[in-house]
Amino acid sequence: MLWVPPTIGGLTQRWYYRVLKAADLTFYVGWIWLTWRFLDDELHWSIPVGCALLSGGWLALTFARTRHLLKTYFDVLSRLEFTLPSAAGVSLAGFAGLTTHLPSVRAVAILELAGWALLLGLYRRNRRRYVRQGHGPLPAGCWISPPARVLRPGDLILTSGLVAAGLRESVGHGETVVRTGGDMQSFSSYMDKGAVLHPVAGYTSFVREHGHYVVLRLRDGLSPERELRAAEIAHAMLLENQGWRDAVNRRRRRVIERLPLPSRWRDRLISATRSAGYDWIGLFMGRIAPQRWTCIGACLELYRRLGVPTNDYGTGLLGFGTSLLDPIMPVRFLSDPAFRVLTNEDRESENSE
């Protein structure tokens, strides 16, 4: 994504991002439609000319997003948004250059291939800034699995696990550190438990035995007053989640008990439909629902209530809050300007103290 000034004609950075996202999707859909029409021979273009035009279109779209895609290389979708158009663009330009009899089309194809070569060179150079950890890349120099004693209230813990493995990413779960009664705990939401608050030391020890994690620290930190407020918010969210879960389960039980079924079947149906308080729709749609959340949704809601500004997440396909097929993936927080990743330099600093 190109550099975003603080304001553009009164538009905030948030709205500028949404407009850019909507335009980006519109352009992609448009070029996919043109590609299909061209392959179906409905536009009646000369084959080499059509290939050159389509390659140029993909080149322009990819170039406009290169900075953003390279910055978010650790996100599998960002890698696909770069590699798939690049493969299509190079193939189309190469075909146009080899099959055309028009010098002008051949010259355009050569320029396009040069442009693609430049972008692919940038992509390869950018890849050296990352290292593979688990199932995906992380920024080089990350402090992998720092001990619990270095964590502070407000830190975001991103861990490996089944979700990360399924997405082919390094991390796929998030928890926020809070201090409650002098103890360091982490707040999150689990598929089988709903919202949880548990000791950081025990949790990080478990993750370290089965995988890895990285820690993102708020750049501005938290004052003692905001640390207390974060703990209050976490406890309030726990109660909200428990109240919603219990109300939903009571309502479902009442409905099932009225069904004309054997009691054994009703009991099984009640057990099968019992809610743990997890937001399954949010897992796929990217919404932040009231009173129930995904793991990273719970963290994001805590930061929102605490007044910590973060990037927009789950804004949907068109960028205007549709929450449609835009899941909030924990790995995307690695590029959020509100945080910085704990690095090996932080480890050396801790060891020298």
Q: What is the CA radius of gyration of the chain?
A: 24
Q: Identify the helix (H) or strand (E) that includes residue 4.
A: none
What confidence score (pLDDT) does residue 315 get? 73
What pLDDT does 10 receive?
A: 42
Task: Quick: pLDDT tens for 18-58.
Answer: 776 777 777 778 788 878 877 777 767 788 888 898 899 88
Please check whether residues 184 and 49 belong to one and the same domain: no
Residues 143 and 103 in one domain: no
Task: Return the higher-pLDDT residue of 13 and 214.
Answer: 214
Same domain assignment for residues 151 and 294: yes
Q: Which helix (H) or strand (E) holds 173?
A: strand 173-180
**Band of pLDDT at residue 182, cut at 50, 70 and 90:** confident
Q: How many CA atoms lie within 13 A of 209 on its CB side?
A: 5
For 344, the domain range is: 136-352
Which pLDDT does position 7 carry in this prediction? 47
Q: Pick the last residue of a domain from 101, 128, 155.
A: 128
- The confidence score (pLDDT) of residue 28 equals 78
What pLDDT score does 253 carry?
95
CATH (domain of 306): 3.90.1720.10
Last residue of a domain, one of 108, 128, 148: 128
pLDDT at 133 over 50: yes
Domain membership flag for residue 256: yes
Measured at the CA of 305, the angle between CA 299 and CA 155, to 5 degrees, comes to 40
Reported as a pLDDT band with limits 50, 70 and 90, residue 327 is confident
Closest CA to 81 of 171, 15, 36, 21: 21
pLDDT of residue 14: 65
What crossing angle do the helices spanning 103-127 and 47-71 adopt, rounded to 10°? 20
What pLDDT shows up at residue 45?
Answer: 73
Do residues 149 and 257 both lie within one domain? Answer: yes
pLDDT reported for residue 323:
65
Percent of the chain with pLDDT over 70: 91
Grouping H, G, I as helix, E, B as strand and the rest as coil, residue 41 is coil
pLDDT digit string, tens, across residues 195-244: 999 999 999 999 999 999 999 999 999 999 999 999 999 999 999 999 99
What share of the chain in percent tops pLDDT 90?
62
At residue 262, does pLDDT exceed 80?
yes
Q: Are residues 120 and 219 in the same domain?
A: no
* For residue 131, pLDDT beyond 90: yes
Q: Is the pLDDT of residue 348 over 60?
A: yes
Average pLDDT over residues 148-170: 92
Domain annotation covers residue 73: yes
Check whether 4 has a pLDDT greater than 60.
Answer: no
Q: Would residue 69 count as lying in a domain?
A: yes
Assess if residue 337 is contained within a domain.
yes
Higher local confidence (pLDDT), 330 or 324: 330
Same domain assignment for residues 140 and 113: no
Q: For residue 267, which amino acid is it?
A: D
Question: How high is the mean pLDDT of the chain?
Answer: 88
- Please check whether residues 228 and 265 belong to one and the same domain: yes
Among left, alpha and beta (phi > 0; psi -120 to 50; other), residue 46 is beta
Q: Best-predicted range by mean pLDDT among 164-173, 235-244, 259-268, 321-330?
A: 235-244
Tens-place pLDDT, residues 61-90: 899 889 888 988 998 888 988 998 999 899
Q: Where does a domain end: 81, 106, 128? A: 128
Question: What whole-number distance in Å separates Cα of residue 72 and Cα of residue 330?
Answer: 12
Q: Does 2 map to a domain? A: no
Q: For the chain, what is the domain count?
A: 2
Give the pLDDT confidence score for residue 321 in this predicted structure. Answer: 66
Q: Distance (Å, rounded) from C-alpha 118 to C-alpha 162?
A: 36
Q: For residue 7, list its beta bridge partners.
A: 12
pLDDT at 139: 93
Q: CA 168 to CA 179: how far, in whole Å? A: 32
User: 26 in a domain, yes or no?
Assistant: yes
Residue 1 counted as domain residue? no
User: Quick one: average pLDDT of 163-179?
Assistant: 92
pLDDT digits (tens, 9 = 90+) for 276-301: 999 999 888 888 888 999 999 999 99
Domain identity same for 208 and 305: yes
Residue 2: the pLDDT is 38
Taking 90 as the threshold, does the pLDDT of residue 191 lie above it?
yes
Q: Based on the domain organization, do 140 and 120 belong to the same domain?
A: no
Q: Assess whether 112 and 152 both reside in one domain.
A: no
* Same domain assignment for residues 327 and 248: yes
Domain assignment present for residue 189? The answer is yes
Closest CA to 6 of 67, 337, 16, 19: 16
Token pair of 49 as six digits? 């000319």
Please tell me the distance from the alpha carbon of residue 122 to that of residue 223, in angstroms, as a whole number: 41
Could you identify the residue written with the tokens 């406009």? Answer: 64
Query: Same structural domain for residues 38 and 140?
Result: no
The pLDDT assigned to 132 comes to 92
